[in-house]
Structures are given as C-alpha cells and as structure tokens.
Amino acid sequence: MTNAFLIIDAQVDFCHPEGALFVPGANEDIDRIARLIHQYAHQIDHIVVTLDTHQLLDIAHPQFWQNAEGKHPDLFTVISAEDVKNGLWIPRFSADKARQYIQALETDGQFQHVIWPEHCLIGSSGAALHDTLLAALKNWAHLRDQDYRAVQKGLYPLTEHFGVFQAQVPDPAVPETQFNVALASDLDRFDTIYIMGEAKSHCVANSLKQLLDFAPAMSEKLVLVTDCMSDVTGMGYLADPIYADAWTKNVRFAEAADIFV
C-alpha cells in the first residue's frame, strides 16, 4: 500500500500565533503533522504541500475596495452583490470582473465574500511554511532521497482560491483558476491520500469538495486527519455540509494517532 500526504496551507500567517490570519489550534496541528512525518517517514511515499499566495491588491483584501468616502472596508466585512450594486462598496480595480465575481460567488451559495487581513503575500515571511513543518519535510526528503512537492494557489487576484484544485469562481481565460487535473492525477497514483492542514472551515473543506466533485472515484482513497486541522474562528459551520457529504461518499475520518496502526 502506498501513501501520500496532502498538507494544505501550513504557512506562518495561518499557523503562527503572530500570523496575519492565525487559525487558533493551527500551531498544535502543525506539531502533530510534523510528528507524523518524523515517525512514519518510511511509510509516507509522497508529500504535497500547498502554499496560499496572494498579491496585496487581492479582491479579498481591504485595499481592493472603498466606499463613497474613499474608506476601505474593515477586516471581516462581508460584501454582498447588493452592496456592490448599491455602491456601498466600490471595486477600485477591474470593476466589471469584480462585480461579476461577487455575483457568481453569491449564486454558488457556499460562501459570502469576506474581507481578510492581507495574508500570505508573495515573497513574505507569512507565506512561508511553518518552521516546524519545514524541518520535518527536510528530514523526510533526506531520508527518502526525494523532494516534497509545493503547489502555489491564489495568485490570480480576482477570485478567492480556497480549494487547492480550483478557484472559487474559475475564469475561463485564466488556466491557473481551472481544476488542476495534474495535481489530482499526481495524488491518484497512491492507495491512500491523507489530507490535513488549514483551515478546516475553508481551504481543507473546499479542496475535499473539489476532489469529490471532479474526481469522485478517488473518494475511497481519502482520509481526513481530523486533529491536524482547525477552523477559522466562528466559521466551522460553513464546511459542515461538505464533511457530511464526504461521510456518505466513504471518505474516512481519523486522528493522527490512528492512521498508521
């Protein structure tokens, strides 16, 4: 049996208490993930880490928007299609595409558009892997004589890109926002795919949903390592339908202590 780890967005801005968008519990999640890699290095055949990576002028950052007085929205402001239509919040860049995006996101019905702190800016220390995880990955790579794979997501600034495999609202003209067939195929080479990382409520949940939607035959290979992921505070309910659906599709749920016993 072959095993792959998919470690989602285990970056400083999410996983360090001083990170720009710290997810409570994420630092302990990272410790557990690192212990798994150290302890079971010879049973882990492939590791993919994803890196949430943004421009400063991202549609989910305050600087992208302003009101009639020129004020940027506060952090965690929810911007609706009605707000944009009525001029309550005005996109400062690519206005037509921004309006279309907000409407499409709302029509999809899963997530509203939230303004986040500037996070995981390209080239910043916050976009780097957490040091504890990086040390474990380097140790694994030395032991196995193979590199871990790093996959960036989120650089296209006109859509959220929670899920690893596809943007929330794909743009037909932007290939990086489309479903990442190559990444799914890479993981599908393995008998079991362990999924972990941050945040359970957003990027982990959406990555799972995208796999189940676009590659449903992979469902029985998937294991959610439940104590190696945490929710954005107060937002866990957003992903409940995704995990409930996954359960009906034979996705397995396990804690770190149980996955290699």
Residue range(s) in the chain whose domain bears CATH number 3.40.50.850: 3-55+129-258
pLDDT of the residue at 1: 94
- Which CATH code of 3.80.30.10, 3.90.226.10, 3.40.50.850, 3.40.50.11610 fits the domain covering 3-55+129-258? 3.40.50.850
User: Which tokens hold the place of 244?
Assistant: 């409930």
Residue 111, pLDDT above cutoff 90? no
- CB under 8 Å to 91, separation ≥6 — which residues? 59, 64, 65, 84, 98, 99
Percent of the chain at pLDDT above 70? 100
Give residue-wise pLDDT tens across range 187-234: 999 999 999 999 999 999 999 999 999 999 999 999 999 999 999 999
Give residue-wise pLDDT tens across range 153-190: 999 999 999 999 999 999 999 999 999 999 999 999 99
